[in-house]
Amino acid sequence: MLAGELYLADDPELSADALRADVLTERFNATSAADPEARRAALAELVGDLGEGVEVRPPLRVDFGYQISIGARTFINVGAVLLDVGRISIGADAQIGPNVQLLTPTHPVDPEPRRAKWEAARPVTIGDNVWLGGGVIVCPGVTIGENTVVGAGSVVTKDLPANVVAVGNPARVIRRIGPEDGVAGEAG
């Protein structure tokens, strides 16, 4: 799975891991904003690595949870879908808008292995201080460089370099981030 090789999704060990994640996700999603310590404890049990000062707002969906690393001071808004069949690494100080999807699973294009339930995965890496606007979809195998901003509703199918603004489907770089960029942003 982690090496990007084909695996069977209904493997008993993976099914047990997915059940564990479902139980922990349900617990996290039921936490109250009035009890941030319980919310953080539930999240820390679910994900593999949780930095200091991370805030994730429920609801959240994951495949396994333990393949997710979230850097310090990162904010993830409501409705995040983090399909961590492969590793998902989110850097420090990232801002992730509502309904963002980080997707690592892939499936064969050939219909026969797909019918036989073979799957694979490729990691997703989000750099430090990245801002993903609402509804962004990041596809398997994508790396987004530090400080990059991805506009709302964009679909990121290929790597994005550091310090750029990208928008669209598929996402494309529209400009570099420079000193003229002030407080107000564009990602949404």
Number of domains, the chain: 1
> Do the domain assignments include residue 188?
no
pLDDT at 57: 97
Q: Which residue out of 27, 107, 122, 172 is catalytically annotated? A: 107
Q: 4: Cβ–Cβ under 8 A, 6 or more apart, which residues?
A: 86, 120, 121, 122
pLDDT in tens, 20-36: 999 999 999 999 999 99
- 8 Å CB contact between 90 and 71: yes
| Other beta carbons within 10 Å of 34 | 7
pLDDT at 36: 95
> Do the domain assignments include residue 98?
yes
CA 134 to CA 186: how far, in whole Å?
Answer: 11
Both structure tokens of 80: 């995040």
| Average of per-residue pLDDT across 139-144 | 98
What pLDDT band is residue 182 in, cutting at 50, 70 and 90?
low
Residue of 186, 143, 150 lying closest to 167 (CA atoms) = 150
Expressed as residue numbers, the domain containing 126 is 7-176
> Is pLDDT of 171 > 70?
yes
pLDDT at 179: 83
> Do the domain assignments include residue 183?
no
pLDDT in tens, 42-92: 999 999 999 999 999 999 999 999 999 999 999 999 999 999 999 999 999
> Is pLDDT of 185 > 70?
no
CA 23 to CA 59: how far, in whole Å?
Answer: 13
107 annotated active-site: yes
> Do the domain assignments include residue 47?
yes
> Is pLDDT of 183 > 80?
no
pLDDT in tens, 97-135: 999 999 999 999 999 999 999 999 999 999 999 999 999
> Do the domain assignments include residue 1?
no
Exposure string for 44-64, b = 16+ CB within 10 A, e = fewer? eebbbebeeebebbbebebbb
> Is pLDDT of 10 > 80?
yes
CATH assignment of the domain containing 115? 2.160.10.10
pLDDT at 180: 80
> Do the domain assignments include residue 87?
yes
> Do the domain assignments include residue 29?
yes
- 8 Å CB contact between 50 and 65: no
> Do the domain assignments include residue 50?
yes
